[in-house]
């Protein structure tokens, strides 16, 4: 099973950059694919997330907002209910 991770972020977001660096590093340690979506790319996303970025979803479920603990991410990634 391929684990799917989505990061909702925006340009100029310092916390988003930190989470992106963590995901890039962790993707070399664990098997998952991730994509980044700019919340400013559509009005609907901008309304949904406003200033609440970064947000990380694992298998379509919100897992983290603002900050992401790497060990907690790995635990959530491999949980059976994902």
In a domain, 78, yes or no: no
d(CA 67, CA 32): 19
d(CA 21, CA 82): 23
In a domain, 45, yes or no: yes
Read off the CATH number of the domain in which 32 is found: 3.40.30.10
Number of residues in the chain: 82
d(CA 81, CA 11): 32
pLDDT in tens, the chain (82 residues): 789 999 999 999 999 999 999 999 999 999 999 999 999 999 999 999 998 999 999 999 999 999 999 999 999 998 865 5
In a domain, 70, yes or no: no
Containing structural domain, residue 27: 3-62
In a domain, 80, yes or no: no
Domain count, the chain: 1
Q: Which residues contact 66 (CB under 8 A, 6 or more apart)?
A: 15, 52, 53, 54
Task: Return the closest-CA partner of residue 71 out of 63, 61, 80, 81.
Answer: 63
């Amino acid at each position: 099973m391929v684990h799917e991770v989505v990061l909702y972020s925006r340009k100029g977001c310092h916390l988003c950059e930190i989470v992106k660096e963590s995901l890039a590093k962790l993707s070399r340690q664990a098997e998952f694919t991730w994509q980044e979506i700019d919340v400013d790319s559509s009005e609907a996303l901008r309304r949904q997330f406003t200033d609440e970025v970064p947000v990380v979803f694992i298998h379509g479920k919100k897992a983290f907002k603002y900050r992401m603990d790497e060990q907690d991410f790995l635990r959530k990634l491999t949980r059976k209910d994902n």
